[in-house]
A and B are shown apart, each in its own frame.
Chain A
């Protein structure tokens, strides 16, 4: 592939860096015990600080706390079930213009999640209402991997409570690839 073309795709993505991937949002519900109960049952997590308030008060948590890995769960939008498969699995209407849609349009339609980094400034308590904002942190130069050619796209979600306190942060990195560039011979050899 000509060097000039590689730069052209990457250059068209430059304008998105440092900007939101989509609108900021507020969690549909504050942190609450019913959703915690659902989660700990699903994952069979028996840490008593998530549901046993009397016990949790004897620990340094001071009362019931939400499982830290639920951070993103609180801010997940209420899904629109109808048409979910047609939207490629997106539970909500997709913003018309963001870096992922731009890469789709350039032929880099494949998506593989490669990294997740969660940081917790503090544990959440029932009643905490989360506000989440996001920002596109970086887009790599074009890379060639076992999944063909593509770009690593990294964005960060920041979680705040009502009074603006930052309680957590989440970095996501995905590889957006062009499925037509996958070297099947190489893939087979790797197995």
Chain B
């Protein structure tokens, strides 16, 4: 959040969001699961997760959406409004494998006195793409 938010007028299609690497621990996965009130054992109980064929406990979808949203608003700033988060889920996010976030402006349009940005976003780890998709966010000010 220490960054200066982008100005709508200065953003072009193809603009890349700064990459972000999230080191991932068991504590972070459990904290996200419980803060989102998801008590599925696969998100906090390693023995249960392994019995299901997973390598370890893995991040729940609500937390993935939370980090995707955080990645976008860390860049877009507090005036940003997230309109949608549409992701395809792939490799599990597991402890010890950092998640690397990247994104770019895929489309840009104007609605009233807002700038609407369609961002192509990816979160990947050593196992592959954890989440890929589109986040639509609006910023005040015309494009």
Contact = CB atoms under 8 A, between A and B. Distances in A.
Contact of A114 (B31, B34, B88): B88
B62 interface: yes
A41 B35 contact: yes
Nearest to B36: A73
Contacts of A42: 28, 31-32, 34-35, 63
A48 B42 CA distance: 32
A59 B79 contact: yes
Contacts of A41: 31, 35
Contacts of B36: 39, 70, 72-73, 76
A38 B62 CA distance: 14
B112 to A, nearest CB: 12
Contacts of A118: 65, 84-86
Interface SS of chain A: helix, strand, loop or mixed?
A: mixed
Interface residues of A, number: 40
B83 interface: yes
B11 interface: no
Interface string B27-52: 01001101111111110010010000
Contacts of A189: none
B142 interface: no
A165 to B, nearest CB: 16
A158 to B, nearest CB: 14
Interface residues of B, number: 39
Interface string B74-97: 100011011111111100000000
A36 to B, nearest CB: 10
B48 A116 contact: no
Nearest to A28: B37
B40 A89 contact: yes
A85 B48 contact: yes
A67 B135 CA distance: 14
Contact of B68 (A49, A69, A117, A120): A69
B37 A60 contact: no
A44 B36 CA distance: 14
Nearest to B85: A118
Contacts of A35: 35
Contacts of B37: 73, 76, 79
B81 A123 contact: yes
A94 interface: no
A48 B78 CA distance: 7
15 contacts: A42-B31, A42-B32, A43-B31, A47-B73, A47-B74, A67-B70, A72-B36, A84-B40, A89-B40, A91-B38, A113-B61, A116-B64, A116-B65, A117-B84, A117-B86
Interface of B: 1, 28, 31-32, 34-42, 45, 48, 61-70, 73-74, 78-79, 81-89, 140
